Amino acid sequence: MAVPLNILIIAISLIALSPLCSCSKAYGSGDYLFPQFYDHSCPKAQEIVQSIVAKAFAQDPRMPASLLRLHFHDCFVKGCDASILLDNSGTIISEKRSNPNRNSARGFELIEEIKQALEQECPETVSCADILALAARDSTVITGGPSWEVPLGRRDARGASLSGSNNDIPAPNSTFQTILTKFKRQGLTLVDLVSLSGSHTIGNSRCTSFRQRLYNQSGNGKPDQTLNQYYAYGLRKQCPRSGGDQKLFFLDFATPFKFDNHYFKNLIMYKGLLSSDEVLFTKNRESRELVKLYAENQEAFFEQFAKSMVKMGNISPLTGGRGEIRRICRRVNHAY
């Protein structure tokens, strides 16, 4: 029996509205992001981002970790809106000057290179916030980590928050509870905290970020007792009590350029570089069990990391008519 035309039209409409697009509800937003956002307006967008990230990795193996960190530091301040990319201007105090970002955040020039390529392909279409999200995913994949569909459709902020950057991003010497509280404020859970911390399987940290663990962790002139003494001895030879603040050390000494689960294995051996890493194993029973799980089961870590990255990327995006699509990522459009 033939299906009546009116019922057929309704069915087709329902299919079009069905969640086949893997739409992702954004935390703190009434709108949805979805991976196919640029399929018609800029179909080569993801290919362009991936290509430039791959080229950068070949020239600088540190770059993937830097791009992941940019996305994280962006999303934790006013949501994933590319506010971290803005330079100082008459009305904007840049987040680049905050304590978590000053002398350490990098990759800004590469984001501008990607943006320039996308502007040539499809002008005023792909946001800087989406570039950060895509570059973070591609950085994970190119270093051996998991892949995921990146929900897209973010727009760019017209302002920045220096105070937000100083206050909302967990510091390397924060207590476990402080870190967890800052994650929960963003709608993230303890599971997200542990899995996302696994991004420290690649990248570097400066001597100044962990020096107190080596010499004066609790204000008593003694090193951190949860730091392996032989590991600490080697670190002290390269990170003195004073001087050498900017000297870089691998966050994961075992496989520093490979995205894997060695970070968690290091924590079990009390060889986490930062205090904020090691507390995941020493200060909370639930997080300790997750560290052990991810150390034993890389697949479980990869699966949760991908889910948590999507969740983090959904923090309070600007969508619809809010914000703008910047033509240059380091400044708002009306600054021309």
Note every long-range contact of 287-296, with CB atoms under 8 Å and residues 24 or more positions apart, other chains counting: 287/176, 287/190, 287/193, 287/194, 290/190, 290/191, 290/194, 290/195, 291/194, 291/264, 291/267, 292/264, 292/268, 294/194, 294/195, 294/198, 294/261, 294/264, 295/261, 295/264, 295/265, 295/267, 295/268
- Known binding residue 275? Answer is no
H-helix or E-strand spanning residue 205: strand 204-206
Q: Please indicate if the annotation marks 95 as binding a ligand.
A: yes
In one letter, which amino acid is 165?
Answer: S
Q: Exposed/middle/buried for 154, CB within 10 Å: 0-12, 13-18, 19+? A: buried
Q: Is 200 annotated as a binding residue?
A: yes
The rounded Cα 45 to chain-centroid distance in angstroms is 20
Residue 149 annotated as part of some ligand binding site: no
Which amino acid would we find at residue 336? Y
Q: Is 104 annotated as a binding residue?
A: no
Residue 291 among known ligand-binding residues: no
Q: Is 201 annotated as a binding residue?
A: yes
Task: Check the annotation: does 144 bind a ligand.
Answer: no
- Paired with 318 in beta bridges are 155
CA-derived radius of gyration, the chain: 21
79 is in an annotated binding site: yes
Torsion sign across C-alpha atoms 242, 247, 251, 255: negative
Q: Which of 71, 73, 262, 334 is catalytic?
A: 73
Active site annotation includes 73: yes
- Determine if residue 323 is labeled as part of a ligand binding site: no
- The verdict on whether residue 252 carries a ligand-binding annotation is yes
Contact yes or no for 173/99 (Cβ under 8 A): no
Query: Can you tell me whether residue 312 is helix, strand or coil?
Result: helix
Alpha carbons 256 and 149: distance in angstroms, whole number: 25
Check whether 74 is labelled as a binding-site residue. yes
Binding-site residues for Ca(2+) sit at 74, 77, 79, 81, 83, 95, 201, 252, 255, 260
Q: Which residues are catalytic?
A: 73
Would you list which residues are annotated within the binding site for heme b?
Answer: 200
Enumerate the known binding-site residues.
74, 77, 79, 81, 83, 95, 170, 200-201, 252, 255, 260
Q: Binding site for substrate: what residues are annotated? A: 170
